[in-house]
Structure 1
Amino acid sequence: MTSALPTTPAADERIADLRTEIDACDAEIIRLVQRRLAVSAEIGELRRAAGGTRLSLSREQQVVARFQNALGPDGAALGLLLLRHGRGRL
């Protein structure tokens, strides 16, 4: 078992503050992903109602490229995960 390195009270307080900020970021990310899923579902419904396919591969490629350009290879994986979550498995 490894022991944690000792910290100062000031460092402990700063870490607690930063963790609170991370928790707030996580809550916002979750809210935004839920909104994205709702918007994606509405687009899918509109596309199907108009007789189209439920997804657009060129649009998905744009999304993945945007995430990869902003965040690198892991960003591409995140973009793909969001797309899959929004449309379900093919």
Structure 2
Amino acid sequence: MTTTSAEKTGAHTAEAAGVITGARERIDALDDRIIGLIQERMAVSAVIQEARITSGGRRVNLSREMEILTHYSEALGKPGTALAMTLLELCRGRI
């Protein structure tokens, strides 16, 4: 059985299905960019950690992490805090 675009999108009209399909393509492209930026952030974080450890410091700077959590929380609300925690975990690993 062939699935129509309206069935794939949950839309009830072909016009709405077209809008949804186009918007989903934009979301997919945005997600690819976001993933690339996260990977870049991870690489930059690794450089910072290496420099800190090499200089005799600790791997993690908790005051800096609090700044990041506050920044995301202020910009995105409570979900921003969860997002920042996930980013921090990806960039420094679990403590």
- TM-score, length of structure 2 as denominator length: 0.87
| Secondary structure of the structure 1 residue equivalent to 2:94 | coil
Q: How many residues align?
A: 87
Deviation string, structure 1 residues 32-54 (Cα, Å, up to 9, x no partner): 00000000000000001111111
Counterpart CA distance in 2 for 1:10 and 1:78 is 34
What is the one-letter code of the residue matched to 2:69?
A: V
Pairs within 5 Å for 1:1-90: 7-90=12-95
RMSD: 1.2
Contact 2:46–2:92, Cα closer than 8 Å, also in 1: yes
Identity of matched residues, %: 44
Structure 1's consecutive aligned runs of 4 or more residues displaced over 2 angstroms after TM superposition are: none
Residues 22/6 of structure 1: CA separation in 2 closer, same or farther (3 Å cut): closer
Query: In the TM superposition, what is the alpha-carbon distance from 1:89 to its structure 2 partner?
Result: 1.0
Query: In the TM superposition, what is the alpha-carbon distance from 1:6 to its structure 2 partner?
Result: 5.2
- TM-score, length of structure 1 as denominator length: 0.91
